[in-house]
Amino acid sequence: MIYLDYTANTPADPAVLNAFIAAEQRYIANPNSTHIAGQQARAEMDRVTSSIAQHLGVQPAEIIYTSGASEANNLAVKGIAQAARHIGKHIISTELEHSSVGASLSVLQQQGYEIDLLRIGRDGRVDLDQLRELLRDDTILVAVCAVDSELGTVQPIREIAELVKLYPGCRLHVDATQAVGKTDLWLDGVDTMSFTAHKFYGLNGIGALYKRRGLVITPQISGGASTTIYRSGTPTLGLAVSLDAALTLALDAQAARTAQVRLLHDRLVAALRRYSLVRINSPETAVPHIINVSVTGIKGTRFQQALSEQGVCVSVKSACSSDGMPSKAVFAVSRDRRNALSSWRISLSHLTTEEEIEGFLQVFDTCYKTLTNLSLIHI
């Protein structure tokens, strides 16, 4: 098997697994319990939270643990909107957002909130001039992903934050799920930021929301305080330890891992460009970990299935997206519905080997020739 779907999920690093197991075995009490075992667990939870906050350059009180990025996005988007409804009901976002953001916006729209989506340029970046035009006194939220999962586009978060701060009643939420370990994080002027461990070699089931201190949001889970008043539930100490371990590794090794992935990316893109019907949809400025590809005339789902039958794992759109519809992200940059329907995603890792790249190219060549020939016959 050749696994090239690291954007959807990454294998847990052995060091992360070891940290999780050690914490689970050593700390058996609920960190909220007041007895000695609970106090020890609470002390470890405080240490881990301080470590995560230090990595991000924020305060421990600004970290909210969640079950993953989907919950964190729901908490940020709905929580900000509901808490600020007395100021206004206007929200700005993009077509590039994860379904957990898009679905949250749909729910809010049904509740009377007004949603505007920013245009996406051919380079995959949001239109800052349009953002400047759309922002108004009753705008309460701008929600943007730092790196989108389909194209790998890096959004200009610093410039967006500069525009948003001109409107005191508006908050900026950044979904950094695909950014951690791939590109530098920008938090100055950001009010909330979501991420999850399983995207950077941590465990499934643990994520976090950075929430700027002093910002009031409406909790989405009722039932009493945990490590924060904004999210109920028994603190998952072992998972928090594993999140810290994964984040430490991801940030410490980011430069070396990204340089390694860049070499694989450049080789792969150069090889794919030799095929006349191949179109690379990811912009030149995208993170090297994500390569979005279309083969003209062949639906992405069909090409993905052909690759899968040969033991190669790639994705069509986000793993959390519904099937059968063209990629909104690819359509936004190409303005071509057929091209969007033909798109699929390769995602690389520092774990990807030269042998796997060679193996993929051999399988791709076979699938390309078979499917394009069949397409010509049907025409």
Give the whole-angstrom CA distance, residue 308 versus residue 132.
44
Which of the listed residues 205, 233, 252 is the one where a domain comes to its end?
252
Write out pLDDT tens, residues 234-283.
999 999 999 999 999 999 999 999 999 999 999 999 999 999 999 999 99
Same domain, yes or no, for 285 and 216?
no
Euclidean distance between CA atoms 206 and 240, whole angstroms: 7
Q: Can you give the pLDDT at residue 223? A: 82
User: 183: domain CATH number?
Assistant: 3.40.640.10
Residues 215 and 271 both lie in one domain: no
pLDDT of residue 375: 56
Instruction: For 279-293, give the DSSP string.
Output: EE-S-TTS-TTEEEE
| Domain count across the chain | 2
How distant, in Å, are the alpha carbons of 277, 284, 303, 328 from that of 296?
Answer: 5, 20, 11, 17
Q: Which of 252, 267, 298 is the last residue of a domain?
A: 252
Indicate if 313 and 201 belong to the same structural domain.
no
Query: pTM to 2 decimals?
Result: 0.94
In CATH, what number is assigned to the domain containing residue 309?
3.90.1150.10
User: In terms of domains, do 143 and 248 share one?
Assistant: yes
Give me the residues of the chain with pLDDT under 50, please.
377-379
Residues 214 and 152 grouped into a single domain: yes
Are 329 and 361 in a shared domain?
yes
**What's the burial of 167, exposed, middle or buried (CB within 10 Å: 0-12/13-18/19+)?**
middle
Query: Which pLDDT belongs to residue 83?
Result: 96
Q: Which of 145, 170, 313, 320 is catalytic?
A: 320
**335 lies in the same domain as 210:** no
Nearest to residue 320, comparing CAs of 148, 156, 139? 148
Please indicate, yes or no, whether residues 130 and 28 belong to a single structural domain of this protein: yes
Going by the DSSP 8-state scheme, the letter that residue 58 receives in this structure is: S
Residues 193 and 209 in one domain: yes
Active site residue 320: yes
What pLDDT does residue 379 have?
40
pLDDT value, residue 324: 63
User: For residue 378, what pLDDT is reported?
Assistant: 46
User: 122 lies in which domain range?
Assistant: 14-252
Report d(CA 246, CA 223) in Å as an integer.
29
**End residue of a domain, out of 203, 223, 252:** 252
314 and 200 belong to one structural domain:
no
Task: Let me know whether 159 and 270 are in one domain.
Answer: no
